[in-house]
Amino acid sequence: FFGGTDGGGWVDTRCRRTNSTVFRWLRERCWGRGVAVDPSRDTFRTMTSLYSSMNPADSVNLSTKTHGAVFNLEYSPDGSVLTVACEQTEVLLFDPISSTHIKTLVEAHEDCVNNIRFLDNRLFATCSDDTTIALWDLRKLNSKVCTLHGHTSWVKNIEYDTNTRLLVTSGFDGNVITWDTNRFTEDGCPHKKFFHTRYLMRMRLTPDCSKMLISTSSGYLLILHNLDLTQSLEVGSYRILRARRTALSLDNVTSGSRVSGSPRNSSDSSQASNKLLSPSSQREGGSPRNSLEVLTPEIPGERDRGNCITSLQLHPKGWATLIRCSSNTDDQEWTCVYEFQEGTPVRAVSPRCSLKLTHYIEEANVGRGYIKELCFSPDGRLICSPYGYGIRLMAFDEQCSELVDCLPKESSCLKEIRSIYSHSDVVLTTKFSPTHCQLASGCLSGRVSLYQPKF
């Protein structure tokens, strides 16, 4: 586009208009989503429309023997392997594309397998009620890479910090333990207790590993901000976690906790927050590492009653958290979405954000006493939740928009996109494929179903 008889340069005005249009389009796509542009956004919009057209006939039941209930499903990052955590000590591996069985890890543990987490496309970890964690390599499944010992009770979930390559586990002993996988051997790897709290149910890391969220059976949600897993927290008593929700007041709030919707005196806040922070975590002139916030998330219909947060998930872009909770009397179940409210701390030691309820829906109260694991789609537009003997696909609006494009002024009900009933027993867990237009579900009787729209 450069040239001219006088040797000077000129720019075609059409090029300017084109560039302006392109940059404006990119800027609009970025609006409300930070500086990164998601190149797969349009692809996932198409996939979302395909999910909404699925029928029960689109599901495939994977051929398995009786392995007890299916507690967890996990795809490898490249979507080539689907792993299944079973009640009766086994782990199943499938090719989700051809729907064929690859291998069964017989007696993978000595008790039921609760959770599976891939570290990369070949290494994955499993945890169990036998109090151990096992590392496996897809290239050599005849034996474990190593077994990790450190918990004293049932180990319920696993996370992985890709920045530090630390494996993070939590269990019903109340401990969150970090494992240095950079230095593992056949005998295990170095580990240390990072955090402890009573009534711990689930623990998750945000996608950028800047926060840790912990849910409890007493209805509290703990958020560790500005996370540093290389430091261990020495936190005192948690009287607030033992208090009844109906009796909470400013006098009950201790240990630097902030209860959703409850104001606090700023001087009290400063003193209490300092109690929550180990001396090594305080940094001069900046926000502290591992600052702790304790919330009682707003639950529709549960304002005056206790509840148990049984399932906890994070939006794939870190915008929100997704929980499933049941009332203490087990007569109601809810799925709720809470947006992270980012903002400048009032004080250097204050937590950076709290959570705001944006969407909710009441669930089918079927299979009381069992934890139902729900999930986000890879782009965060859809939620898949166990729903009785099937699954329910939900979105933030009828168009399956992204959360930041349809934030309501007041909390509103999630929109049901599709319900599919393909099991003969209560569904306990669901999972979207990270790479294909496919999702999986597992039920109490051990059946695994794959759902893939017909093109």
Half-sphere exposure at residue 307, Cβ-oriented, CA atoms within 13 angstroms: 28
pLDDT bucket at 455, cuts 50 / 70 / 90: low
Distance CA 415, CA 18 (A): 38
Report the pLDDT averaged over residues 126-140.
96
Q: Which amino acid is at 69?
A: A
Query: What is the predicted pLDDT for the residue at 341?
Result: 83
What's the rounded Cα separation, in Å, for the pair 383 and 366?
19
For residue 81, the model assigns a pLDDT of 96
Report d(CA 124, CA 232) in Å as an integer.
25
pLDDT at 205 exceeding the cut of 70: yes
Handedness of CA 250, 255, 257, 263 (dihedral sign): positive
How far is residue 253 CA from its own chain's centroid? 27
Q: Mark out the alpha helices in 204-292 (DSSP H runs).
A: 239-242, 266-276
pLDDT tens per residue across span 252-300: 322 323 333 333 333 333 333 333 444 444 444 456 889 889 988 888 7
pLDDT digit string (tens) for 154-196?
999 999 999 999 999 999 999 999 999 888 777 888 999 999 9
Strand partners, 179: 167, 191
| Average pLDDT over the chain, rounded to an integer | 79
pLDDT at 18: 47
pLDDT at 41: 56
Closest listed residue to residue 392, CA positions, set 371, 372, 407, 406: 372
Lowest mean pLDDT among 63-77, 185-199, 229-243: 229-243
Percent above pLDDT 90 for the chain: 55
Residue owning tokens 């050599």: 140
Among 109-123, 135-149, 356-370, the range scoring the smallest mean pLDDT is 356-370
For 279, the 3-state DSSP assignment is: helix
DSSP character string of 416-437: EEEEEE--SS-EEEEEE-SSSS
Amino acid, single-letter form, for residue 232: S
CB 322 within 8 A of CB 414: no
Rounded to whole angstroms, the Cα distance separating 339 from 337 reads: 7
**For the ranges 137-146, 185-194, 314-323, which has the lowest average pLDDT?**
185-194
Q: 334-344 burial, b if ≥16 CB within 10 A, otherwise e? A: bbbbbbbeeee
pLDDT band at residue 454, thresholds of 50, 70 and 90?
Answer: confident
Q: Where are the beta strands (DSSP E) in 288-373?
A: 291-295, 307-314, 320-327, 333-342, 353-362
User: pLDDT tier at 87 (50, 70, 90 boundaries)?
Assistant: very high
Number of residues assigned to the chain: 455
Task: Give the pLDDT of residue 2.
Answer: 38
Token pair belonging to 132: 């151990």
So what's the pLDDT on residue 399?
Answer: 87
Please choose, from the candidates 104, 159, 158, 153, the residue with its C-alpha nearest in 3D space to the C-alpha of residue 129.
153
pLDDT band at 36 (very low <50, low <70, confident <90, very high): very low
Please give the pLDDT value at position 283: 43
Q: Give the per-residue pLDDT at 126.
A: 98
| Whether 131 contacts 155, CB under 8 Å | yes
Please check the confidence at residue 303 and state whether its pLDDT lies above 80. Answer: no
**283 or 409: which leads in pLDDT:** 409
Residue 219 in contact with residue 298, Cβ under 8 Å?
no
Contact of 251 with 243, CB cutoff 8 Å: no
Mean pLDDT value across residues 122-131: 97
Examine the pLDDT at 151 and tell me if it is beyond 90: yes
3: confidence class by pLDDT, cuts 50, 70, 90: very low
**Residue 18 CB partners (closer than 8 Å, separation 6+):** none
Distance CA 301, CA 296 (A): 14
- Cα 275 from Cα 253, distance rounded (Å): 12
What are the C-alpha distances in Å from 17 to residues 12, 13, 323, 339?
9, 6, 46, 38
Q: To the nearest 5 percent, what fractions of the chain are helix, strand and coil?
A: 15, 40, 50
Q: CA 70, CA 52: separation in Å to the nearest integer?
A: 25
- Specify the range with the lowest mean pLDDT, choosing from 52-66, 115-129, 164-178: 52-66
Which of the four pLDDT bands, split at 50, 70 and 90, describes residue 326?
Answer: confident
